[in-house]
A and B are shown apart, each in its own frame.
Chain A
Amino acid sequence: MASRGGNEAEVVFQIVQERCIACGNCREVCPWDAIIHTWTPEARYRTTIVVLEDSCTGCGGPEKAPCVVVCPVPDCIVPVERGARGAA
């Protein structure tokens, strides 16, 4: 997994677009710069926040991950298995 720069985490986070309010709190606290503000046609708001799967390390699970801790919306940032994006 050289392309992931030694990032071997198998559980990463995904943002549920139907719940995201695009506040950007998670983006500010991510220590890996793995969360970005971008534009997707399916977003509820016109711009939205997404997790870059290759950069996300999972940060030791939802209890410890800064992005989940600061998110004001319940069940908006959810853990998924790497490669299973879109399942949430």
Chain B
Amino acid sequence: MGSLLIRRDAQYWGITLEDLARKSLNGTRFLGLMQEVIGPFRTKTWNMVDDWARRISWTDKKAFKTVLQFGAFEMHGARLYNEWYKGTLPYVDYTSGAYEDCLNMIARKAYDEQKHGRIYWDAVLERGWAANRRELFGHQYGQTLFGIKMFLAWLAYVGSSHPAVQHAGDSVASEFQSARSIHALGESLAGYDPIIAKAFLAQEYEEMTHVKMGEYIIGRYATTPEIQFQCLWASHHNLRALDLGLRDFIDFVEADD
């Protein structure tokens, strides 16, 4: 159940399985260690988005592309978290209550992401850029980019692993970036298009809630060196995939097509 094919002699963020076994950390202390090691990489990626959001000169087309891509991304997220729900179910012990909280949090997360998707696309309707939602589903700018697809494939893959690993591979890594990127884009768009900007800024709080969910689950359930090592593996691949996806996204918005 949930065993991942990771080489035992591998190292992620410079940490090996033996290091973790030697340290014998509880979940909370491991969370602290993980946040410390992934911090510089998180900063690098969010600086890239922050810089881009600061220097971009918005046009209607760029704003349209941005909001449509984010909408499609969140809709796919909702679908994937529903798969995560199935990945979490086998761990749930209804007699002791273990992992029930993970299940509830996944349900909330899936609902939130679906809601975010519709807020983005409804902002397009409010703005008058489309007459109905059917147009948006089929629109060429609403189709998922290749880099984002790789990231989504990663999310689908990590969904079958241990709940703490799921959240290490998404909530505390890319959701953190997501909240940060949404804030940067919302602030940047506020001066150009308040309707689109509010669609971004309205979601920052909930994205940070997802980060907190992940922190809670890792703190409670990442208690063995094997699971902790898988968490490091997941956060490493998650941030790498996200970096590629965001670069693809920025190129797409800036492209003059």
| Residues in A lying within 8 Å of B, measured CB to CB | 5, 24, 27, 32-33, 36-39, 46-47, 52, 55
Contacts and interface: CB of A to CB of B under 8 A. Distances in A.
Given A36-B125, A38-B123, A52-B126, A27 B118 contact: yes
14 contacts: A24-B115, A27-B118, A27-B122, A33-B125, A33-B132, A37-B115, A38-B119, A38-B122, A38-B198, A38-B199, A38-B202, A46-B205, A47-B119, A52-B125
Interface of B: 115, 118-119, 122-123, 125-126, 131-133, 198-199, 201-202, 205
B122 A36 contact: yes
A52 B199 CA distance: 16
Contacts of A39: 119, 198-199, 201-202
Given A33-B125, A36-B125, A46-B205, 4 more contacts: A5-B131, A27-B122, A32-B132, A36-B123
A55 B199 CA distance: 20
Contacts of A27: 118, 122
Nearest to B126: A36
A55 B114 CA distance: 23
A46 B132 contact: no
Nearest to A5: B131
A-B pairs with lowest CB-CB distance, top 8: A39-B202, A36-B122, A33-B132, A37-B118, A39-B198, A37-B122, A37-B119, A33-B133
A15 B202 CA distance: 20
Nearest to A54: B128
A47 B126 CA distance: 15
Contacts of B115: 24, 37, 47
A57 to B, nearest CB: 13
A46 B207 CA distance: 14
Contacts of B199: 38-39
A38 B126 contact: yes
A43 B255 CA distance: 37
A58 to B, nearest CB: 18
Nearest to B200: A39
B170 to A, nearest CB: 22
Contacts of A24: 115, 118
A33 B123 CA distance: 12
A36 B123 CA distance: 8
B237 to A, nearest CB: 32
Given A33-B132, A38-B126, A52-B125, A46 B118 contact: no
Nearest to A32: B132
A46 B125 contact: no
A32 B205 CA distance: 30
Given A33-B133, A37-B115, A47 B122 contact: no
A50 to B, nearest CB: 8
A47 B125 contact: no
Contacts of B202: 38-39, 46-47
Contacts of A32: 132
A39 to B, nearest CB: 4
Most central of A27, A33, A46 by chain B CB within 10 Å: A33
Contacts of A52: 125-126
A16 B198 CA distance: 21
